Copies of this chain bind each other. A is one copy, B any other.
């Protein structure tokens, strides 16, 4: 018995396809076609789709093919607001609960991010981004509140694509570096108020940046490669 890795495996594959843009927002995910494509039956694929739906990456529609989610600006902002609340709580708890080793690990991630941030280009951007995500994930875990860490991870996953588009920008990278550093300092001094404030600033800036990105997309060309449904 395999504890159903297949469904999780398929979900992982679809996830990556979505995040890297191979599956564009709005694209349908027909469980029949995809099933034969991947050489598996509908049953596990079906489960995979449900998993992604729970994560918010695909939308289930009654009596229609599920489609890759194409969140509106409002939806993204809504999500970031929740993420902000979760992450502030994480940071505050981490000040109390985290071990020195955990904080050191967070600092390490921050420094690796810093080192890569200045030079990264092309495929290395994905690595840069993954370190960024790992940084935030590490803080959530340092809260020693598994439920919180899990929910936080779910929100992070949900916004992978949007955050990726944002994080890749040169201009944003500069800001992110100093803000991460500030957060780490707050953790090292075990100052919940400061950590909370820094995280607040960090994610508020993210909202601003994402808003700008959306406006860019509206006006100029479509970054997502599929036009077919933008109003």
Contact = CB atoms under 8 A, between A and B. Distances in A.
Interface residues of A, number: 26
Interface stretch (A120-128, A142-150, A203-211): A142-150
22 contacts: A1-B62, A1-B63, A3-B62, A3-B63, A43-B43, A56-B147, A75-B146, A75-B147, A78-B146, A78-B147, A78-B148, A81-B145, A82-B86, A82-B145, A82-B148, A82-B151, A85-B85, A85-B89, A147-B155, A147-B158, A151-B151, A151-B155
B47 A78 contact: no
A80 to B, nearest CB: 9
A32 interface: no
A35 to B, nearest CB: 15
Mostly, the A contact residues are: helix
What is the count of identical protomers in the complex? 2
Nearest to A158: B147
Interface of A: 1, 3, 43, 47, 50, 54, 56, 62-63, 75, 78-79, 81-82, 85-86, 88-89, 93, 145-148, 151, 155, 158
Contacts of A62: 1, 3
Contacts of A50: 47, 50
A64 to B, nearest CB: 9
